[in-house]
Structure 1
Amino acid sequence: MEDEIKKRNIIQKSEADVPVIEIKNLHKSFGTNEVLKGVNLTVNKGENLVILGKSGSGKSITIKCIVGLMRIDEGEINVFGTDITKLHIAELNGIRVRIGFLFQNAALYDSMSVRDNLGFTLKRHAKDLSAEEVESQIKEILDSVGLSEAIDKMPSELSGGMRKRIGLARTLILKPEIILYDEPTTGLDTITSREISELIIEIQKKYKTTSIIITHDMPCAKLTGNRLMVLKEGVMHAEGTYEELEKSEDEWVRSFFL
């Protein structure tokens, strides 16, 4: 296991030197509460970047800003080399379709079956597909997350882990180049959390995705992250591999690993 994790921390230089996301001096306040106070980060092509931080530190806000779900107060957010903060909505939507976002609760439509949840998403963005092509892509993506048998189930019939997988399938069906994971293992038992973490790795390898993973789950961070960053008091306080940060001389950073 340790050898596998070490191997995952070695990104091919041809991929790692190509930034897909670059955030510069990001500020975001809510009234008098300044949450982000100059966040800087870069995510390289093919990399899984894990962001750690205490509750309320602004981790989820950071990734919501990346897809334009929140307007920033100051700074730059470059995605695929374009500063999205300067885009009109039509241009922003052109970037968004290349980004998948897995919400904490999977955000499935409760009144739709698994097939309809996936089909609705696909048909919104690929109107020229035939019914047969839609069905084929739904089955392919369900197979990728190991839930082919759930195609006719309703969300209420799914366990928490299954809902996460279907939420991920709905994200994957548009074949995004970037995936933003917001607490992908929250509320899951230890075994299911590990299964979701392993699925994140499989997706990175199979689809060549670039990802940011927000998590409090340190086993998930250890397994999935090529690199970790720690958010403290509105700025990125530390970064490195899991092993480097675990041995940090900074007592606050080490507290995450206890």
Structure 2
Amino acid sequence: METKENITITPKELASNQPLIAFKNVHKYYGSNKVLNGINFSVYKGENLVILGRSGSGKSVAVKCLVGLTKTDKGEIIVMGKDITKLNEQELNQIRMKIGFLFQNGALYDSMSVKQNLAFTLQHNNKKLKEHEVDAAIIEALNNVGLLEAIDKMPAELSGGMRKRIGLARALIIKPDIIIYDEPTAGLDTITAHEIIELISKIKLKYNATSIIITHDLTCAKYTGDRIIVLKDGIIKAEGSYSDIENNADDWVKSFFEK
């Protein structure tokens, strides 16, 4: 697998920039269940932040809060300078249109071809585009994920890895400020998972993308993350580089690396 080169964000660079995303003492409860228990973290422009955690750790809920699909019970979530917890639905939609989302299962419309799936997303975001502009954007997005030949295929004709790639093309086609990857390697064989990991790294290099990668896959975390936070029961148990996490003294964090 290719290693990341010249893409790590240094502490000095982080200190000199305002975060693109900031969670400030964010709480989310479902009854007596504290899914997020006062978490604090930031994501900076051009950074890949991995949120690592097992099922039920709160990582998916954190992202749902980030895009306003779930309301927080306490705290602030600053996205591109705005506290999304205080926005109305129209204002939230303006933020959402700047966020590309790769869903875990690709989430393509089964009744639409690949081209129609991408065109629908692009035209939803920008209704003023002309047909030739839409076609050019589709070709660019598919070339970015190496699947131009699939342009006229239906989702049922695609493998799991291809569906993920098309899902990523759909996320990229709107030229987002932020990309969210939800378990990008889940359900894939090892070779296909490695291809997706390399693609995430290439997207970062090409577009200086700012991304949040939700995963429980250590290989994905290692090769895509500039920085990693580890969630357990809605609390951040560790934060740092992959090496920092791997050498963390906490027994629970160590358990991630036990064979």
Contact 2:8 2:47 in 1 (8 A): no
| 1:132-157 per-position Cα deviation (integer Å, ceiling 9, x unaligned) | 11111101110000000000000000
The 5-angstrom pairing of residues 61-72 of structure 1 reads: 61-72=61-72
In structure 1, distance between residues paired with 2:167 and 2:18: 28
Indicate how the Cα distance of structure 1 residues 136 and 15 shifts in structure 2: closer, same or farther if over 3 A, else same: farther
In structure 1, distance between residues paired with 2:85 and 2:216: 28
- Give the CA deviation at 1:208: 1.5
| 1:161-207 per-position Cα deviation (integer Å, ceiling 9, x unaligned) | 00000001111100001011110000000111011011111111111
In structure 2, distance between residues paired with 1:206 and 1:187: 26
Range with bigger deviation, 123-132 or 186-195: 123-132
SS at match of 2:26: strand
Contact 1:65 1:72 in 2 (8 A): yes
Residue 151 of structure 2 corresponds to 151
Indicate how the Cα distance of structure 1 residues 116 and 12 shifts in structure 2: closer, same or farther if over 3 A, else same: farther
Name stretches of at least 5 consecutive residues in structure 2 with no aligned partner: none
| 1:85-142 per-position Cα deviation (integer Å, ceiling 9, x unaligned) | 1011111111111111111111100000000000011111111111111111101110
In structure 2, distance between residues paired with 1:245 and 1:191: 25
Residue 9 of structure 1 corresponds to 8
- Give the CA deviation at 1:32: 2.3
Q: Give TM-score, length-normalised by structure 1.
A: 0.95
In structure 2, distance between residues paired with 1:214 and 1:178: 14
Contact 2:56 2:233 in 1 (8 A): no
Identity in percent: 62
In structure 2, distance between residues paired with 1:93 and 1:150: 30
Q: Give TM-score, length-normalised by structure 2.
A: 0.95
SS at match of 1:137: helix
Indicate how the Cα distance of structure 1 residues 136 and 147 shifts in structure 2: closer, same or farther if over 3 A, else same: same
Query: What is the root-mean-square deviation of aligned Cα atoms in Å?
Result: 1.6
Contact 1:181 1:213 in 2 (8 A): yes
In structure 2, distance between residues paired with 1:122 and 1:81: 25
Contact 2:228 2:239 in 1 (8 A): yes
In structure 2, distance between residues paired with 1:117 and 1:257: 39
Indicate how the Cα distance of structure 1 residues 7 and 133 shifts in structure 2: closer, same or farther if over 3 A, else same: closer
Range with bigger deviation, 8-17 or 197-206: 8-17
SS at match of 1:29: strand
Contact 2:34 2:233 in 1 (8 A): no
Contact 2:65 2:71 in 1 (8 A): yes
- Give the CA deviation at 1:50: 0.6
SS at match of 1:72: coil
SS at match of 1:19: coil
In structure 1, distance between residues paired with 2:173 and 2:256: 34
Name stretches of at least 5 consecutive residues in structure 1 with no aligned partner: none
- Give the CA deviation at 1:11: 3.8
